[in-house]
Structure 1
Amino acid sequence: MSETPRPTDIRIRRKSRVLRLEYADGTCHELPFELLRVYSPSAEVRGHGSGPGTLQTGKADVMVEDAEIVGNYALKLGFSDGHDSGLFSWEYLRQLGDSQQRLWQDYLERLEQEGASRF
Structure 2
Amino acid sequence: MSTQETPQPTEIKLHQKSRILEIAFSDGSRFELPCEFLRVYSPSAEVRGHGPGQEVLQVGKKNVEITAIEPVGTYAINLVFSDGHDSGIYSWSYLYDLGKNQAELWQRYLDRLAAAGASREPVAESPIPIRPKSK
Per the TM superposition, whether the score is higher than 0.5 is yes
Shift of 1:3: 3.3
The equivalent position to 2:91 in structure 1, one of 89, 96, 101, is: 89
Shift of 1:52: 5.9
The match for 1:112 is 114
The match for 1:41 is 43
Aligned-partner SS, 1:8 = strand
Unaligned runs of 5+ in 1: none
The CA distance in 1 between the partners of 2:102 and 2:7, in whole Å, is: 18
The correspondence of residues 25-104 of structure 1 with structure 2, limited to 5 A, is: 25-51=27-53, 53-104=55-106
Residues 14 and 20 of structure 2 are in contact (CA less than 8 Å); yes or no, is this contact kept in structure 1? yes
The CA distance in 1 between the partners of 2:72 and 2:86, in whole Å, is: 13
The CA distance in 2 between the partners of 1:15 and 1:85, in whole Å, is: 24
The CA distance in 2 between the partners of 1:24 and 1:53, in whole Å, is: 31
Shift of 1:23: 1.3
Aligned-partner SS, 1:31 = strand
The CA distance in 2 between the partners of 1:44 and 1:67, in whole Å, is: 19
Render the CA deviation track for 1:7-59: whole Å, top value 9, x for unaligned. Answer: 10000111111100011221100000000000000000000011260000000
How many pairs align? Answer: 119
Name which of structure 1's ranges 33-42 and 21-30 shifts more when overlaid on structure 2.
Answer: 21-30
The match for 2:11 is 9
Aligned-partner SS, 1:102 = helix
Q: What fraction of aligned residue pairs are identical, expressed as a percent?
A: 57
Larger radius of gyration: 2
The CA distance in 1 between the partners of 2:28 and 2:51, in whole Å, is: 35
Aligned-partner SS, 1:77 = strand
Unaligned runs of 5+ in 2: 122-135
Matching residue's letter, 2:87: S
- TM-score computed with the length of structure 1 as normaliser: 0.96
